[in-house]
Amino acid sequence: MKPREQILFGGDYNPDQWLSQPDVIDRDFELFEKARINTLTLGVFSWASLEPEEGRYEFGWMDDIFDRAERQNMHIILATPSGGKPNWMALKYPEIRRVTETGQHEVQGRRHNHCLTSPVYREKVRAMNEQLAARYGDREALILWHISNEFSGYCYCDQCFAAFRQWLKAKYQSLDALNDAYWSRFWSHTYTDWEQIQTIDKTVCGLVLDWRRFMTEQCRSFIRNEVEPLRRHSPKIPVTTNFMGVHLDYDYHQLAKELDVVSWDAYPSWHTPQTDSLTSHHSLFAGFRHDLTRSLKRQPFLLMEASPGPVNWKDVSPLLRPGMLRLAGMQAIAHGSDSVCYFQMRKGRGSIEQFHAAVIDHVGHGNTRMFRELSSLGQSLTQMESVVGMPTPAKVAVVFDWESSWILDAAGTQHNTIKQYLETVLAHYKPFWDRGVAVDVVDAKADWSAYQLVVVPMLFLLPESSAQRLAEFVERGGTLVTTYGTGVVDETGLAIAGGIPGHLREVLGIWVEESDALPDPCRRRIKTLTEAKCLSGSYEARHYLDVLHLEGAEALAVYDEDFYAGSPALTRHEYGKGAAWYIASRNDERFTSDLLGNLVKQLEIPYSLNAGLPKGVSAQTRESEGRRLLFLMNFNDEVVSCDLGSSLYADIETGTGYTGLIELEPYAALVLRERE
């Protein structure tokens, strides 16, 4: 990998939309310099410009951009263009077009709608990538390959199903094994010939789970096919693809294995009101997705796209308030990004994204509010080069698991409309975010050795191997917190025999006999037992209320209402050198905050800032070799006072010293270095 010493600052650039106006491109490069833009992501949707007809390549325009970039010491992230297939190809080879679930070939158009299996498409992609890699693989400006764009969606064509059946045969060997795994004697769904697997029957939950695993695998092998010529020609250039945070079509943990660097596109709906869902707590949810993306490889990631203003594809997109652009960029860096990149550099004049914000607006010059804000951020980033590569020191892991979410979604349960998996994970992430405690967001296959506290909300699918590793983590002194809805099915999606929470039963010291499902707005009170140090008084539970038996664990809180009054609502079990906690009901925010907040204290897990944080202020750190940077970010639209305690800090841009009580301007983002 080429060492990078700068925070990458720039983003998607589509000069092929402007080739008839070379003066526009001249102007763009002047403006890039002015804003200290150092990186262009090139060619994301350029297939038709690079190969206007089959086998005839046109690279002149791209050569020119490379030349210009090199003259200005800029970096290029070169994309492979497979996210959008050209018309000539889709018409000549209709089999590359996706087939819908009801069996229709999609009409040509739009983007991100190619078949991942099609040998023709894979061949075309490979030929294109061969050309790109041979031509640009050793250009000075090239720093990263960007594979395709925002992989998503499924194809239901014959080629995909033929490959799926092969995958199933390799996995199960026999139809008997497959029928057992799918419990398919139910409703006479027994498969007596592999060829009968031609559709995804949503009532066969194990089939749905396997289909999503298979599609992940197809995407993975599609990426491998793309990457092979790139690595061959340019073995030192790393490879990424742009993910989408919490996007459930493919398991990002699997795709990440094909990549050197993970990146994602962040489009929080800044300035839109918060609803009941934590996904509309924009700063929190953005922080969560940055953490999730970083944790895919547990190394710094890249913010590949963000919008430098309103987008064109949401219901309503407010203007970014002064300061928000800087704050959103700094937040990414605070959580481990080594870049702040945008979609896009220049706003096109036509087609569906003509009114999507861009660094350079239709007016064509840099005398705009957003350009000025962006230039000022560019200036700040040049003062922050020491950040590049610095890790994030998390002692807490919160589990968000793709496979588990897939099967929970597929299953019909008592709690159908109140499952709320992501919401529940966010509710367990929030107490840490509120307190400025660093968190890795990992899946159930993670290595737990780096953590003191592992929080596993609603892990519906719990393979024996994962349970085993969690038990070992606790045995060695770790603290595990898990909740209702955990350990219900095994990796095939079959209900676990022998009682919930499955293979965690022994380490948790409980058995869950029943779970109540309360429709909104029903609530049940729970009360703390006097000896509990982590909770106080009474709390409110909703939606999920497990009724469980103690099998070695102690109860720290109990239900206070209904026929299960007196039955445990929170349990703790000492196991080996550690402890395993079980939260039996979906509780109010204060409960989760009290419990996890007290665990952080008891376990002496470090805070980013050793003084409480005001509401809406986030503190994150990046650390290496004794150097520690504190990012202090005010997401409120008003001034707030924040206590820095007795430590002395210096602003890494201005050198200004800070200590004790300070005022944070609306949307302020400070980057501070602790002084000795």
Question: What are the residue ranges of helices labelled H in 476-511?
Answer: 505-508
Phi and psi at 113, nearest 5°, equal -135, 40
At 612, the amino acid letter reads: G
> How far apart are CB 210 and Zn ion at their closest, in Å?
16
Backbone angles phi, psi at 469, to 5 degrees: -70, -35
Nearest-approach distance from CB 150 to ligand GLA, in angstroms = 5
Q: Is the Cβ of residue 219 or residue 526 nearer to Zn ion in the bound state?
A: 219
Decide if 198 contacts 143 (C-beta within 8 A).
Answer: no
Nearer to ligand GLA, 150 or 440 (CB): 150
Options 8, 133, 142, 160; binder of Zn ion; rule CB under 5 A: 160
Tell me the C-alpha distance between 467 and 503, whole Å: 6
User: What is d(CA 371, CA 28) in angstroms, rounded to the nearest whole number?
Assistant: 12
Q: Which does 265 bind (CB under 5 to 8 A by kind): Zn ion, ligand GLA, none?
A: ligand GLA
The least CB distance from residue 123 to Zn ion, in Å, is: 15
- Return the number of the residue (150 or 546) whose C-beta is nearest ligand GLA: 150
Nearer to Zn ion, 115 or 394 (CB): 115
**Would you say 339 or 592 has its CB closer to ligand GLA?**
339
Whether 501 and 482 have beta carbons less than 8 Å apart is answered as: yes
Residues 119-158 that bind Zn ion (CB under 5 A): 155, 157
- From the list Zn ion, ligand GLA, none, pick the one residue 648 interacts with, judged by a Cβ distance below 5 to 8 Å according to partner type: none
Which amino acid is it at 260?
A: D
Coil, strand, or helix at residue 150? Answer: coil
Nearer of residues 96 and 143 to Zn ion, judged by Cβ: 96
Nearer to ligand GLA, 40 or 407 (CB): 40
Whether 70 sits among the annotated catalytic residues: the reply is no
The strand ranges marked E within 107-167 are 142-146
155 binds, among Zn ion, ligand GLA, none (CB under 5 to 8 A by kind): Zn ion
Tokens representing 408 are: 């929970």
Q: Which of Zn ion, ligand GLA, none binds 41 (CB below 5-8 Å, type-dependent)?
A: none
Per annotation, catalytic residue among 51, 226, 305, 373: 305
Rounded to a whole number of angstroms, the minimum distance from the CB of residue 111 to ligand GLA is 8
Contacting range for Zn ion; rule: CB under 5 A; set: 45-53, 160-168, 455-463, 591-599: 160-168
Residues of this chain, 106-125, that bind ligand GLA according to CB under 6 A: none
Burial of 222 (0-12, 13-18, 19+ CB in 10 A): buried
Decide: is 594 part of the binding site for ligand GLA (CB under 6 A): no
Q: How far apart are alpha carbons 327 and 633 in whole angstroms? A: 7
**β-strands 239-240, 142-146 pairing:** parallel
Rg of the chain's alpha carbons, rounded to an integer?
A: 26
* Distance from C-alpha of 552 to C-alpha of 571, rounded to nearest angstrom: 10
Nearer CB in complex with ligand GLA: 243/421: 243
How far apart CA 358 and CA 345 sit, in angstroms, is 5
Nearest to 437 by CA among 562, 627, 291: 291
| Cβ(629)–Cβ(673) below 8 Å | yes
Candidates 150, 217, 373, 491; catalytic one: 150
Q: How far is the CB of 43 from ligand GLA (least distance, A)?
A: 12
Applying CB under 5 A, among 37, 40, 115, 396 the residue interacting with Zn ion is: 115
* Count of residues interacting with Zn ion (CB under 5 A): 6
Nearer to Zn ion, 219 or 652 (CB): 219
Nearest CB to Zn ion, comparing residues 219 and 394: 219
Residues 136-175 that bind ligand GLA (CB under 6 A): 149-150
Which residues in 8-47 contact ligand GLA (CB under 6 A)? none
For residue 662 the two structure tokens come to: 């300070």
Does a cis peptide bond (omega within 30 degrees of 0) precede residue 238?
A: no
How distant, in Å, are the alpha carbons of 301, 391, 459, 629 from that of 625?
19, 10, 36, 11
Of residues 298 through 327, those in contact with ligand GLA by CB under 6 A are: 305, 307, 311
Number of residues that bind ligand GLA (CB under 6 A): 10
CB 205, CB 493: distance < 8 Å: yes
Q: Which does 343 bind (CB under 5 to 8 A by kind): Zn ion, ligand GLA, none?
A: ligand GLA
- Give the separation between CA 252 and CA 292, rounded to whole angstroms: 10
Q: How far is the CB of 244 from ligand GLA (least distance, A)?
A: 7
> Is residue 554 flagged as an active site residue?
no
d(CA 18, CA 349): 10
- 216-245 residues near ligand GLA, rule: CB under 6 A: none
Closest separation in Å from C-beta 322 to ligand GLA? 21
Task: For residue 447, give both structure tokens.
Answer: 């290595």
Partner from Zn ion, ligand GLA, none binding residue 160, C-beta < 5-8 Å depending on class: Zn ion
DSSP state at residue 17: G
Least distance to ligand GLA from the beta carbon of 240, Å?
13
When asked if residue 356 is in the footprint of ligand GLA (CB under 6 A), the reply is yes
**Beta-bridge mates of residue 630:** 621, 672
Which helix (H) or strand (E) is 263 found in, with range? strand 263-265
Looking at beta carbons only, is 348 or 666 nearer to ligand GLA?
348
Residues β-bridged to residue 578: 575
317 closest CA partner among 309, 306, 328 = 309
Shortest distance in whole angstroms from residue 346 CB to ligand GLA: 13
Applying CB under 5 A, which of residues 6, 38, 113, 117 lies at the interface with Zn ion?
Answer: 117
Closest CA to 526 of 561, 483, 555: 561
Q: Give whichever of 44 and 160 is closer to Zn ion, judged by the CB atom.
A: 160
Point out the residue whose Cβ comes nearest to ligand GLA: 265
Query: Measured between alpha carbons, how far is 558 from 592 in angstroms, rounded to an integer?
Result: 15
Shortest gap between Cβ of 266 and ligand GLA (angstroms)?
A: 9
Give dist(CA 439, CA 144) in Å, integer.
27
Q: Do residues 586 and 351 lie in contact, with contact meaning Cβ atoms separated by under 8 Å?
A: no
Considering only residues 343, 402, 484, 667, which one is a binding residue for ligand GLA as defined by CB under 6 A? 343
Q: Distance (Å, rounded) from C-alpha 473 to C-alpha 172? A: 31
Cβ 117 to Zn ion, closest distance in Å? 5
For the bound state, the minimum distance from the C-beta of residue 307 to ligand GLA, rounded and expressed in Å, comes to 6
- Quote the tokens at residue 452: 């003191």
What stretches of 173-310 show up as alpha helix (H) in DSSP? 175-182, 205-233, 252-256, 282-295
311 binds, among Zn ion, ligand GLA, none (CB under 5 to 8 A by kind): ligand GLA
Task: Tell me, residue by residue from 245 to 284, as one string, x for binding to ligand GLA by CB under 6 A and - for no binding.
Answer: --------------------x-x-----------------
In order, the DSSP letters of 41-56 are EE-TT-HHHH-SBTTB
Binding site for Zn ion (CB under 5 A): 115, 117, 155, 157, 159-160
Catalytic positions, please?
150, 305
Binding site for ligand GLA (CB under 6 A): 149-150, 265, 267, 305, 307, 311, 343, 353, 356
